[in-house]
Amino acid sequence: MENNQSALNYFHPLVATWFAESIGMPTDLQMLAWPHIAAGEHVLITAPTGSGKTMAAFLWAINELITGKWPLGLISVLYVSPLKALNNDIRRNLRSPLSELRTLFTRSGEYWPPLGIAIRSGDTPQSERRRMLREPPEILITTPESLNLLLSSHGGRSMLTNIRTVVLDEIHAVTDSKRGVHLITGVDRLAPLSGEFQRIALSATVRPLEAVAQFVGGYRMVGDPRSPGYSARPVQIVSSSQKKDYSLTVRFPKAAADWDDRDSFWQPFVDEIKEIVVRNRSTLVFANSRRLCERLYSQ
């Protein structure tokens, strides 16, 4: 317990207090990752879903912003995910702890800086895009495609001159595809604008770890620009040893056993799904086709 608690010593006392009271003890993954992240090292974090990867990546950046170590009014944290739906979740999940931290800082008489979080994707309205140019958020959430579009415009590049850390989420989904090349070349194009910045990649499952780490780190130019050389950026691999417990049960609704009407056959499944949804906070339902999925949903 003492070792877990000592991981919070990297943070402002009020940030550590908030984490202990709102979340509890750091996970083993967070314990392993925060020393490397606090030291500014590039990190590849791999662990099962629910191990605290996102918090491990973001909490140090939030700490640096609210303590004034990173400047405000500029984009310092860039989060890139291949999933637009995940980006919306990330913004929502960040707003809650920031609100709680603001309350804690205000009650303690500590200065709380105004922190902006914005999403830039193909769905972002033009009015919001123009607002970002005038008032860049401290945390920008985007996709690989939108990142490259930003880098292709003068206005977009002007927002990306102060990046301190880039968080690459769901890295396993793109590493072996052209989209992955699009992503990492965009990240590398940031370096001439911002200078060197920290790279933090997150993945629930990815293999081989060493190859993915090399992909994330890339190469930096060394020596005289007129006769440059290139060296690989070292990337620390942080892998959780914590195992996830699964409880698996296979069953068939009794009411559907003696069905004789195709239309009525699905009603017992619908009834059982409803009961499961009511009993649980999150439910994931798989179907054999989109049509069947929509039919179950409509009922």
Give every residue of the chain whose pLDDT is below 50, as ranges. 1-2
Structure tokens at 7: 């991981």
User: Which two three-digit tokens encode residue 133?
Assistant: 């140019």
Structure tokens at 166: 């880039």
3-state secondary structure the chain: CHHHHHHHHHCCHHHHHHHHHHCCCCCHHHHHHHHHHHCCCEEEEECCCCCCHHHHHHHHHHHHHHCCCCCCCCCCEEEECCCHHHHHHHHHHHHHHHHHHHHHHHHCCCCCCCCCEEEECCCCCHHHHHHHHHCCCCEEEECHHHHHHHHCCHHHHHHCCCCCEEEECCHHHCCCCHHHHHHHHHHHHHHHHHCCCEEEEEECCCCCHHHHHHHHHCEEEECCCCCCEEEECCEEEEECCCCCCCCCCCCCCHHHCCCCCHHHHCHHHHHHHHHHHHHCCCCCCCCCCHHHHHHHHHC
Q: Please report the pLDDT score of residue 97 as a whole number.
A: 92
Angle at 171 between CA 131 and CA 68, to 5 degrees: 45
**Beta bridge mates, 232:** 219
Q: Please, which residues have CB within 8 angstroms of residue 136's CB and are 6 or more apart in sequence?
A: 73, 74, 75, 116, 159
> How many CB atoms are located within 10 Å of the residue 297 CB?
11
For residue 192, what are the contacts with CB-CB under 8 A and spacing of at least 6? none
Residues ≥6 apart with Cβ < 8 Å to 67: 12
Q: Are 162 and 75 in contact (CB under 8 A)?
A: yes
Domain 2-239 belongs in CATH node 3.40.50.300? yes
Q: For the chain, which residues make up each domain, given as ranges?
A: 2-239, 254-298
Q: Provide the token pair at 271.
A: 């009834």
CA of 17: how far to CAs of 14, 28, 161, 228, in Å?
A: 5, 18, 33, 47
pLDDT score for 2: 47
The model's pLDDT over 77-92, given as tens digits with 9 standing for 90+, comes to: 999 998 888 888 899 8
In whole angstroms, give the CA distance from residue 181 to residue 65: 30
Report the pLDDT value the prediction gives residue 160, as an integer from 0 to 100: 96
Which residue type does 206 have?
A: V
Give pLDDT, residue 194: 93
Q: Confirm if 98 and 115 have CB atoms less than 8 A apart.
A: yes
Question: What pLDDT, on a 0 to 100 scale, did the predictor assign at position 169?
Answer: 94
pLDDT above 90 as % of the chain: 62
Report d(CA 122, CA 159) in Å as an integer. 17
pLDDT at 258: 67
pLDDT score, position 1: 46
